[in-house]
Structure 1
């Protein structure tokens, strides 16, 4: 808990039960004015009601912003240039949204003269770390308020009682809790809590919102082409789209064919294991296509260096170090590797799978005259392979001599 006297705080505000309670609690606990900030990053929900609710409680400074294009251009696309995946499966949908929200809160604090920022993340999860590392990296002297680490409203009943006492509208009936803790944006939707806390319990089919069941997906596959320019997707099926439009279209196409579901147990930064289910249809399609294009464009050793560094980059994003110097340094390397990653990939979506059909690029390093099994006209001298093999076998031959002598 901050001991600093707070006059004004910028709250990351959704208008739901938790953040509505936090809005009034901040006034009671800190005696401060509250500025609300609501971001549309493609969560698929109407955000304007948040304005009406904030006005109802006398909030004078209300920020509601459409940040979908910014989210994709400045956060999702850079992350995808690294092909970042955390612990083999998680495409970092929640993780990558937090730096943007933190940045805007700090910027709004500067504009409004606020001396604190506040969030609704719990004291058990990763989001508190992601938000606060972002705040402090961008504004070292800002005060941070995390109500879930301070108050005693640690149950849904207590939150509802507080809401009743203060006249906070609650859409859900008392005693009826949402079955899962969910987070959504243009890249993904996540599900945690409830019955999912038992890793042995399979998720119910009616839980999934963005993807069809592979069994219920169309019986005919659908071919899709994606064009890339300098590492970023720019068109789908020949249609040039803005980044947010493109990701939206891939979400629709992938979701229709059951692509992009994952059910994983991940290692949280705070130390515990957590089971989560994720839907990332567009991101899964995009990652598949990007990797296919890179196989013909990137130098072998550049690809291997990227593969070595990607897990570290992904961990930095997952743990909340988007604004760290090491992430920015790695980003420079990954961005440089993408300068020539331009071309077109065709893939087939079918019942949860992405099948690569073709890839082409004017920057391709694939040389048919060298790779062919037919007569290459002297492009490659097969006899040269003998010396190559003998040199690479030298250490193996020497090792075997020692083994025979010892044994």
Structure 2
């Protein structure tokens, strides 16, 4: 029997895929769950047990948190990536690296096929297929849900016919969780005007008394929280645990999907949003005017391309090189106050703070030029405007 590696989550779609691949295509199914921070240890065990009950030949749980941070999150922080000035790519960026891991596993076991449970209406099908085609063009892709255009009821009926009778109640809200945030979809996000209700968000408001925290950055990377230093991954997880209790980082992203239609999705991303805003504030103090200007443009492009599954476009490595180089002086502490549903970035401390120059204090005093110097500078600076208006008025 030929082998197929299935990107597996344990939900209805991928469970259907297991039985379909076994029964209809006579394939040996190797299921792979790639964890980017969305599963607890107990949840991973439950998914693994269900996979074997479904009849897979082998199941693996792969944790790629550190790799995901190193190859994506780090650069999303460096670039202050918020798609459409809102969304920190909480889930969309994960799919690329889950696909990469699935391909590597398929190659390792000599699989002839790779399968996933995406539908034909969303972004994930594009991300998975593009990575599979780029890294393993010799491996055929199978997508039962997309190809057969199945309804939920048809999938459940097929599973029951094949001895699988789990309770497949459709959750009121679709939740996808990862280290960089959680997406939330429901009937409200299918409209253009309705907000998600409070109960739709997995993290509920637990604390109302404001809390002051201190974030430590070294060359752009978050390395500590409140004078306790750890890996960036662990620090992000600690920040999420603290900030999520304030229901911080909620919003609804409206954007253009890869397939061309508009879409809305809710999300909560406490650690991601606090980290990006704190990092951005530190950069305002330590980077030059033109570094910030070019970074803003490149960060936007990086987020857009990553969202669209274009991770292997060569320009991504070029942008990463620029972003990494720009972080040489982005070291210091950022002071943040957490409050119910929002937060404030209060200020920073850094030996690279450009406000500490000896040239003067904005709006107060200057020590680097005379009043005559200022008059001459302003006169020359306005020359182009004066020429244009004298000619065209």
How far 1:68 sits from its partner (Å)? 2.5
Where does 1:6-405 land on structure 2 (aligned, <5 Å)? 7-45=2-40, 46-152=43-149, 154-172=150-168, 176-212=169-205, 217-218=207-208, 220-372=209-361, 378-404=367-393
Residues 211 and 281, structure 1, Cα contact 8 Å, conserved in 2: no
Residue 374 of structure 1 and its aligned partner are, at CA, apart by 5.5
Evaluate the alpha carbon distance shift between residue 144 and residue 385 of structure 1 in structure 2; reply closer, same or farther with a 3 A threshold: farther
Tell me if the contact between 1:73 and 1:243 (Cα under 8 Å) persists in the aligned partners.
Answer: no
Please give the per-residue CA displacement for 1:317-339, whole angstroms capped at 9, x wherever unaligned: 11111122121211111111112
The Cα shift of 1:18 comes to: 1.4
Task: Output the TM-score relative to the length of structure 2.
Answer: 0.94
SS in 1 for 2:263: strand
Gaps of 5+ in 1: 1-5
Residue 236 (structure 1) shift: 0.4
Cα distance change on mapping 1:177 and 1:61 into 2, 3 Å: closer
Matches of 1:197 and 1:96, distance apart in 2: 22
SS at match of 1:87: coil
Give the TM-score of the pair, scaled to structure 1.
0.91
Q: Secondary structure at the match of 2:358?
A: helix
Q: Shift in Å at residue 22 of structure 1?
A: 0.5
Q: Distance in 2 between matches of 1:235 and 1:257?
A: 20
How far the C-alpha of 1:345 sits from its partner, in A, is 0.6
Q: For 1:20-49, what per-residue CA distance to the aligned partner results, in whole angstroms no more than 9, with x for missing partners? A: 110111123332211110122221441112
What secondary structure sits across from 1:163 in the alignment?
A: helix
Native 8 Å contact 1:211 1:261 kept in 2: no
Contact 2:219 2:330 in 1 (8 A): yes
Conservation of the 8 A alpha-carbon contact between 2:117 and 2:144? yes
The Cα shift of 1:161 comes to: 0.5
1:120 positional shift: 1.3
Distance 2:194 2:79 in 1: 33
CA distance in 1, matches of 2:182, 2:145: 23
Partners of 1:106 and 1:138 within 8 A in 2: yes
Answer yes or no: is the 8 Å Cα contact 2:122–2:257 preserved in 1.
yes
Q: Could you list the structure 1 runs, at least 4 aligned residues long, displaced by more than 6 angstroms after superposition.
A: none
